[in-house]
Amino acid sequence: MSFDPMDRLMSLCVPSLNLRMHRSLIDSLEIQSCYLLSEHSCLASGFGSIHFVLLVSRQGKVRLTKWYSPYTQKERSKVIRELSGVILNRGPKLCNFVEWRGYKVVYKRYASLYFCMCIDAEDNELEVLEIIHHYVEILDRYFGSVCELDLIFNFHKAYYILDELLIAGEIQESSKKTVARIISAQDEMVEAAKEEAGSISYIIAQAS
Amino acid sequence: MNSIFSGTRLRDMIRSIRACKTAAEERGVVRKECADIRASINENDPHDRHRNLAKLMFIHMLGYPTHFGQMECLKLIASPGFPEKRIGYLGLMLLLDERQEVLMLVTNSLKQDLNHTNQYVVGLALCALGNICSAEMARDLAPEVERLIQFRDPNIRKKAALCSTRIVRKVPDLAENFINAASSLLKEKHHGVLITGVQLCYELCTINDEALEYFRKVAPLFALDRSIYAYMSIAKCTEGLIKTLRDITNSAYQPEYDVAGITDPFLHIRLLKLLRVLGHGDADASDLMTDILAQVATKTESNKNAGNAVLYECVETIMAIEDTSSLRVLAINILGRFLSNRDNNIRYVALNMLMKAIAFDDQAVQRHRVTILECVKDPDASIRKRALELVSLLVNENNVKQLTKELIDYLEISDEDFKEDLSAKICSIVEKFSPEKIWYIDQMLKVLSEAGKFVKDDVWHALIVVISNASELHGYTVRALYKAVLTYSEQETLVRVAIWCIGEYGDLLVNNVGMLGIEDPITVTESDAVDVVEDAITRHNSDMTTKAMALVALLKLSSRFPSISERIKDIIVKQKGSLLLEMQQRAIEFNSIVDRHKNIRWSSLVERMPVLDEATFNVRRAGSLPASVSTMAKPSVSIPNGVAAAPLVDLLDLGSDDIMAAPSSSGADFLQDLLGVDLGSSSAQSG
C-alpha cells in the first residue's frame, strides 16, 4: 500500500463529496496526517466539534481555557485577547452566536462570566448552547449555587468537571448525576490519599 | 525536613494576586511566586510538587510564561498517587500543546496508566490522551485504547471511545482497526457509552469509506482476510440506529436525562448526525429513515432550545439524505416556523439553514419571503445581515419589484451602520434584475437619495452608462434628478450624478423636453439649473470630484445656455483663485475655452456625450479598471469623461486624422489637442 498521503487520500475520497485536503506535518516526517474537510454543507466535518472553551469575566479576566485543537501558547494568547474583545462588546439583546475568523463562537453569559465555545461554521450552535448549560448546571450542583469566586479559587476542580464532560471536543456524558458521581469518587480518593499522607507524616514526625 | 507548608498555599497566592491594585504589583507578586516555585523545583521535593503545579496553572491562566514547570507535570504523572496523577495530567493538558516534544516523554507513563488497576487512573490517561496526543503517540497507544473500548466499566468505555475519535483523526490509517469495536458500542444501553460510540462511528464513516459501507450494511460482503467484514452477522446498523432513535424519542420521562421535555437531546442529535452520514448518497438507507425523521420533525417540542437543537439537526439530516420531497417541504416549514420564533438564536439558525435549502427547493423557501423580509428589519445586526443575504438569493424576475420596494422603504428608516450593506445589496439586485430602464433609474435615484454616500463608484458609474443609453428617458431623468438634489443635497453621489445629467441634458431640463405621461410639469429656468451646479462648487462639504465635475458641467452649460453664459463665466473665473490645484487648473482652461468660443467649434466641443457602450463598460468593469480608462486630465474623474478621450478627435473635426487623443495628464496638452492648431501659437496664448 502506498504511503503517499495523496494516493491514500484519493483512494478514500468519495467523488461526490467535495473534499478539500488540508495537510499538516506533525512530529516526524514520516507521519503525515490528512485532515479532510468536507465542503459539502450537509455533511458537517466531524472534526473537532468544539475547538476550544473559554471562560472570561466581564472585566476580561480569563477563568478557564481548554484547547481541543492545536494552538501554540502564543496563538492562544492572541485568540483570547481577540475573542474577549469581540464578545465583551456584544450588546445584550443580540443572539448568542458570533462569526469569528470563519468559525462560530457560541457564548452565554451567566452572571459575571461569559462561557464561550468555538465550533465550525457548519456545526449545530443550538446544541452547543445546551452543552454550555449542561456544564453550568453540573458546576452549580457541585459547588452549590456556583459563583465566579468558586471558579477562581477552585479552578482545578472546574477543569476536572469539564474533563468529565468533554473529551477531544465531543460530549462524553449526558447525565449530570453520572458526572457528579464520578467526580465525587475521585474527590474521595484524593481525600483518602491526603489522610493517609497526613497520618504517615504524623507518625514520622512523632518518630523523629 | 521541609515543613509541609513551605511557600504560600494556593488560596493565599490567589488572594494576594487578586489584592494587587496595579499590573506592576501583580507582576511583582507573580515574580516572587515563580522564584519560590523554581527554587522548590530545584530542591526536587515531592511534597510541594502538587501545590507548585496548581500555582503554576493559575499563573499560566493570568498569561505569564510557565514552561519551567513542564517537567513537573511529567514527574507528577509518574508518581504513584492518584492526587498527583490527577493534577499532573491536568497540568500537562494546560501547559503543553501537542507540538511540543516534551509531550513524547509522557508516552510511557500513559501506557502504564492505561493498564492501571485503578479505573480512575485509566480514565485520567484516556482523557489526557484524547485531548492532547500527537499522531506519534496516537499510533503508539492505539492498541491499548482499542482494547479499553470493551472494558467492563462504562466510564472507561466512553472515554476510550472518544479517545479513539482523536486517534483516528490524527492517524486516519488506523480507522479500520476501530470499526469492530465501534459497532459493538452501538448496542449499548448506557447513554454515555452510546453517545460516544455513535460519535466514534460517525468519525469512522466520515474518514473511511469502508467503514461507511460497513455501517450501512448494504454493501456486499468483503472477501478479505479481515474476517470481521465477511462474517459478522448482518447487524443492520442503520436499522439498529433507527430503532435506538425511535426508542429514545418515544421514551417516557427520564429525570436523569431530561432537558426541557426531551429525553437526552445529546443522544438524539448524535444519532441524527450518524444517520445523516449513512443516508447521504444512499437511497436505500435514506428510505429506511424517512419515518423516524418525520416523527422527530413533527413530534419534537419546539418551545425550548433543547427541542430546537434536535429539530435543527433533524432538518440538517433531512436535507442531506436522498430526495424525499415531502420530507424536505416539512423541513423547510419547520425553518419557516423558526423564523417567527421570538428567540433570536432560533431565527439566526433558521436563516442560515434556509440559505442552504434554497439549493434544493427554491419554491418552498420563497413561500417564507415575507417573514424573511421582516428579519431584515430585526434589531439584531447578525440577523439583519443573514436575512439580507438570504433575500438577495431569493430575488427573481417576478418578485424583484416588490422586494426592492420593501427594501428601499426600509432603507429610509434603517440604522446608519446597516445602510451601507443594504444599499449595496439593493443596487446589485436592481442592476441584475431590472426589467426596464425607467424602473432601474427610479430605484437608483431613491437609493442615492437615501444612502448616496454609501454607494460605491462603480455603481453610480454604471447608472450613468445606463442613463446615457436611455435616450428617451434623458428628459425624465434630468428632471427627476433636479428635484431630488434640491431635497437631498447632502448625498454626495446623488449630487454628482445630478450634475453630470444637468450638464449633459440641461437644455432638456429647462425646456421640459421629452415629458412622459407620468410627469408633472416643472418650471426650471436656466438660472435655477446653474444654481444647483454652483451650489455644488461652493458648498463646503463637497469633495474634489464633485467640484471638478461641476466645473465640467458648467462648461457644457455655457454652450447650452447662451443667455446666461456671462454668469457661468463669472463662476468659472472665480474658481481660478481656488486653493485646490485641480479646480484652478480646470477653471483656467475652461475659461480659456469660453473666451475663445468664437474661434473653435464650440458646440461640437461640448455637444452631447456619445452613448457609452454598455457592453464594453461591463467588460471593463468586470476586469477592473484597465489603464486605458485613465483620462487626459484627472484620475478622480469618472469613466464617462475618460471615454470621451476617443471622441474628442471627432469633435475637433479639423480634418487632421493624425491627431491622437493622447491621454496625458497635463492640462496644457489638453489645450493643445483641443485647439489642434499650431502648437507654437497655442503655447503663446494665456488663459
Cell of B49: 510538587
Which residue in B has a C-alpha nearest to residue A80's C-alpha?
Answer: B63
Mutate to test the interface with A, among B107, B206, B314, B343 (most CBs of A within 10 A): B206
Interface test with B, best of A72, A132, A173, A176 (most B CBs within 10 A): A173
Measured CA to CA, the distance from residue B68 to residue B42 in angstroms comes to 11
Is the Cβ of A29 closer than 8 Å to some Cβ of chain B? no
Mapped onto helix, strand or coil, the DSSP state of residue B657 is coil
Q: Cβ A127–B309 below 8 Å, yes or no?
A: yes
Please state the length of chain A.
Answer: 208
Please give the ipTM for the structure prediction. Answer: 0.78
pTM for the model stands at 0.75
Is A36 at the interface with chain B, CB within 8 A? yes
Q: Where do runs of H (alpha helix) occur along B79-190? A: 82-95, 107-114, 119-132, 135-148, 154-170, 175-185
Task: Give the SS3 label for residue B399.
Answer: coil
Contacts of B345 (CB under 8 A, 6+ apart): A95, A96, A97, A125, A126, A129, B305
pLDDT at residue number B150? 92
Helix, coil or strand: residue B659 = coil
Q: Mark yes or no for CB contact B98/A94 under 8 Å.
A: no
Q: Does A89 touch chain B (CB under 8 A)?
A: no
Contact criterion met (CB below 8 Å) for A49 and A119: yes
Q: What's the confidence (pLDDT) of residue B236?
A: 59
User: Is B267 within 8 Å of B194 (Cβ atoms)?
Assistant: yes
| Helix and strand numbers, DSSP H then E, in chain A | 6, 9
Cross-strand partners of A105: A98, A118
Whether B83 sits inside 8 A of A194 (CB atoms) is: yes
Task: Classify the phi-psi angles of B512: left when phi > 0, otherwise alpha if psi is within -120 to 50, otherwise beta.
Answer: left
Q: Which three cell numbers stand for residue A83?
A: 475573542
Residue B454 vs residues B404, B405, B449: alpha-carbon distances, Å: 17, 19, 11
Q: Which residues contact B487 (CB under 8 A, 6 or more apart)?
A: B449
Cross-chain CB nearest to B320 (options A43, A134, A167): A43
Q: Do B208 and A12 touch (CB under 8 A)?
A: yes
Task: Note the Cα B59 to chain centre separation in Å.
Answer: 37
- DSSP track, A73-127: HHHHHHHHHHHHHHHHTS-TTS-SEEEETTEEEEEEEETTEEEEEEE-TTS-HHH
Within a 10 A sphere around the Cβ of B680, how many other Cβ atoms?
7
**Preferred mutation among A3, A174, A177 to probe B, highest tally of B CBs within 10 A:** A174
CB < 8 Å to B21, chain A:
none
Which cell goes with B371?
417573514
B208 touches chain A (CB under 8 A): yes
Bin B217: left if φ > 0, else alpha if -120 < ψ < 50, else beta: left
CB contacts < 8 A (A, B): 217
Chain centroid to Cα B91, Å, comes to 37
Express each pLDDT in B508-565 by its tens digit: 888 888 888 788 878 888 888 888 888 888 887 788 888 888 888 888 888 888 888 8
Interface membership of A74 toward B (CB under 8 Å) = no
A144 C-beta neighbours (distance < 10 Å), count: 8
Angstrom distance (rounded) from CA B158 to CA A135: 18
DSSP state for residue A21 in the 8-state scheme? E
**Which H or E element spans position A54?**
strand A50-57
Cell numbers representing residue B599 in the block: 474661434
For residue B330, the SS3 value is helix
Angle at alpha carbon of residue B326, lines to B320 and B332, rounded to 5°: 65
User: How many C-beta atoms lie closer than 10 Å to residue B617's C-beta?
Assistant: 22
How far is the C-alpha of B529 from the C-alpha of B318, rounded, in Å? 62
Q: Is B175 exposed, middle or buried (0-12, 13-18, 19+ CB in 10 A)?
A: buried
Of B172, B308, B348, the CB nearest to A97: B348
Q: Comparing C-alpha atoms, which of B242, B330, B264, B241 is closest to residue B294?
A: B330
What distance in Å separates the CA atoms of residue B265 and residue A69, rounded to the nearest whole number?
25
* CA torsion through residues B427, B430, B433, B434, sign: negative
Q: Please, are residues B7 and B37 in contact by the beta-carbon 8 Å criterion?
A: yes
Residues near B204 by Cβ (< 8 Å), separated by ≥ 6? B168, B175, B178, B179, B182, B211, B212, B215
Strand, coil or helix: B518: coil
Q: From chain B, pick out residues whose CB is under 8 angstroms from the CB of A119.
A: none
pLDDT digits (tens, 9 = 90+) for A147-180: 999 999 999 999 999 999 999 999 999 999 999 9
Say if CB B150 and CB B161 are below 8 A apart. no
d(CA B124, CA B145): 13
* Average pLDDT, consecutive stretches of 10 residues, N- to C-terminus, chain B (687 residues): 60 93 94 93 87 94 90 93 95 88 89 94 96 91 94 95 94 89 88 93 86 63 32 53 88 85 91 89 84 90 90 92 83 88 90 85 86 87 86 87 88 84 87 86 88 85 86 86 86 88 85 81 84 84 85 84 84 85 86 72 68 73 50 37 38 40 39 39 39
The residue behind cell 454652450 is B559
The answer to whether A104 touches A121, Cβ cutoff 8 Å, is yes
Digit-by-digit pLDDT tens for chain A (208 residues) are 444 554 444 444 333 333 333 333 333 333 333 333 332 333 334 455 899 999 999 999 999 999 999 888 889 999 999 999 999 998 888 889 988 898 999 999 999 999 999 999 889 999 999 999 999 999 999 999 999 999 999 999 999 999 999 999 999 999 999 999 999 999 999 999 888 877 877 677 767 6
The Cα B268–Cα B48 span in angstroms is 46
Contact across the interface for B163 and A168, Cβ inside 8 Å? yes
pLDDT digits (tens, 9 = 90+) for B26-77: 999 999 999 999 999 998 888 889 999 999 999 999 989 898 889 999 999 9
pLDDT of residue B235: 34
Cβ–Cβ contact B126 with A under 8 A: yes
User: B265 at the A interface (CB within 8 A)?
Assistant: yes
User: B309–A130: do the CB atoms touch at under 8 Å?
Assistant: yes
C-alpha torsion sign, points A77, A80, A85, A88 = negative
Report whether A96 contacts A108 (CB < 8 A): yes
Q: CB-based contact (8 Å) between A71 and chain B?
A: yes
Q: Cβ of B285: how many Cβ atoms within 10 Å? A: 24
In a 13 Å sphere around the CA of A91, the CA atoms on its Cβ side amount to: 6
Q: Which cell numbers in the block locate residue B266? A: 445529546
Cα–Cα distance, A143 to A140 (Å, whole number):
5
* Of residues A12, A35, A156, nearest to B209 (C-beta): A12
Q: What pLDDT score was predicted for residue A91?
A: 84
